[in-house]
Amino acid sequence: MAVDGDGDCVNLEPFFYDEAATVAEAAAAAERREREEQEKAREAAANARRWAAHNAALAGIREYDPAEETYIYTRYHYADLSEFDLDEESRLPPMRHTAATYAPPARALHFLCDMINVLAVRIILPSSDRSDDGGGGVGFPISVYGSVIARDQLDYKCVHLFRRCRDDPQLITSEDELSLILTGPHRGLVLYDALYIEVDLKMKVKGDQQQGCKDKRLSKGLIVLDGVLLSTNLSDHLRTAVKSATLDRRSIMPCAVQVTCAYVTRAVEATVSVDLLHDQGGGAHFCGEITACTSTIQDSIVLHDSNKLGVADDGIVADGSTVRLLRRVIGVCLDEVLMVTIVAQDGDGANNYSRQTVDFTPSVNGGDEARVVCGVGSFLVKVNWSLMDPVIDK
């Protein structure tokens, strides 16, 4: 724009109002607002559906406890239950990082973590029901079925410790047999912040369910093991400790359940297998027991017990075949020793047994093996080591 001597503006461009463009812009803005409002409405409807599904799932795992005068949750509920499948099993296998190499090797030590070994799950009967009263109480013998599962922070999925259907219950005939026969976990259990254990046990009642004979619930609920609390309670020199937690809801359930665990720091996963190389007795039947423990915690984890296997899995194996183990995964502190003990039938008689123990020094990867002659059998014990969740592999 230029100004002449009289102060008038020259070279002015004429102003044009494009009504069509203005109307188009306004229409486009209105359309954008409508789309945004529709998207917000769809998002709000989706959130409402998810919230309703979440609350419906919560209602299904919630029970009122008159003793506490509050509602308690019987299963894991710290997730969006509209999307989280409470029954999905963990697909993570053991020995995930056995073949991994670490450069430099000392770097692997940064990925050691805390782990939990479940040593025992025991039913606690009311004192008035510890004999067969012949009435409606919980008395011996009892046939127990149901599930005990664990969830850790690797995936929060189900890792079964005990699982039996109604047609295959565990028969308990005395006070000495109240510990459940555990068949898990199938992989190591890590303990960062918390470990969740869900209990759902029932007692089989003789009779036809269709005719009104209903099975009894023994115990149902959620146990939360606080990893932060466990670690702070350990002294500086202590690497492992045994702790028990009890699920006691006898105001609504007849029985309590006690879970005994070993808390292990600086831990690696040990996966055990046992092969029968030769049976000098001329047969292919391993009759005995295989257990494992560590140099600090002497509480044995039963890996195999011929007396606890079912009819279809009674320990019969051929020479060179793997002995079927009830459990095979153990968390071991890197500073300790894993001890595997075999108790096998001797050739001198049915009631004579020999015992042999073999020690293994933990590692962050790879494996070890040892040949053991015990009783009439020769065995090959193998252990594979693995870190649980090394960030280096991600």
- Is the residue at 246 inside a domain? yes
User: Which amino acid, 382?
Assistant: K
Instruction: Give CA–CA dist 125/137, Å, rounded.
Output: 10
For residue 159, being part of any structural domain is answered with yes
- Domain end position, chosen among 238, 266, 294: 266
Q: Mention every residue, 6+ apart, whose C-beta is less than 8 A from residue 54.
A: 80, 81, 82
Residues 262, 119: contact at Cβ < 8 Å?
Answer: yes
Q: Please tell me what DSSP assigns to residue 375.
A: T
**According to DSSP H, which parts of the chain are helical?**
19-60, 227-233
Domains in the chain: how many in total?
A: 2
Q: Cα(61)–Cα(389) distance, rounded to whole angstroms?
A: 31
Say if residue 144 is in the same domain as residue 230. yes
Residue 54 lies in a domain: no
For residues 355 and 229, what is the distance between their CA atoms, to the nearest angstrom?
38
* Angular region, 171: left φ>0, alpha ψ -120 to 50, beta rest: beta
Cα–Cα distance between 353 and 376 in angstroms, integer? 9
Identify the CATH number of the domain in which residue 238 sits. 2.60.40
- From the list 236, 256, 272, 242, the residue with the least C-alpha distance to 369 is 272
User: Where is the domain boundary, 242, 266, 290?
Assistant: 266
User: How far apart are the C-alpha atoms of 202 and 173, rounded to whole Å?
Assistant: 16
Tell me if 249 is assigned to some domain. Answer: yes
Would you write out the chain's pLDDT as a tens digit for each of its 394 residues?
555 556 565 565 555 666 777 778 888 888 888 888 889 999 999 899 999 999 999 999 999 988 888 899 999 999 999 999 999 999 999 999 999 999 888 889 989 999 999 999 999 988 755 544 444 456 788 999 999 999 999 999 999 999 999 999 999 988 888 999 999 999 999 998 899 999 999 999 876 555 556 889 999 999 999 887 777 776 555 667 888 899 988 888 889 999 999 999 999 999 999 998 876 555 556 788 999 999 988 889 999 998 776 434 444 454 458 888 999 999 999 999 999 999 988 876 567 888 999 999 999 999 999 999 988 888 999 999 999 987 644 4
Q: Which structural domain range is residue 234 located in?
A: 105-266
The pTM of this model reads 0.84
Last residue of a domain, one of 222, 241, 266: 266
* 288 and 255 together in one domain: no
Residue-by-residue DSSP string for 63-107? EEETTTTEEEESS--SS-TTT--TTPBP-PPS-TTTT---SSGGG
Residue 71 neighbours by CB distance under 10 Å: 11
Residue 258 neighbours by CB distance under 10 Å:
17
Examine the domain organization and report whether 376 and 258 are in the same domain: no
Q: Are strands 321-322 and 256-279 parallel, antiparallel or unpaired?
A: antiparallel
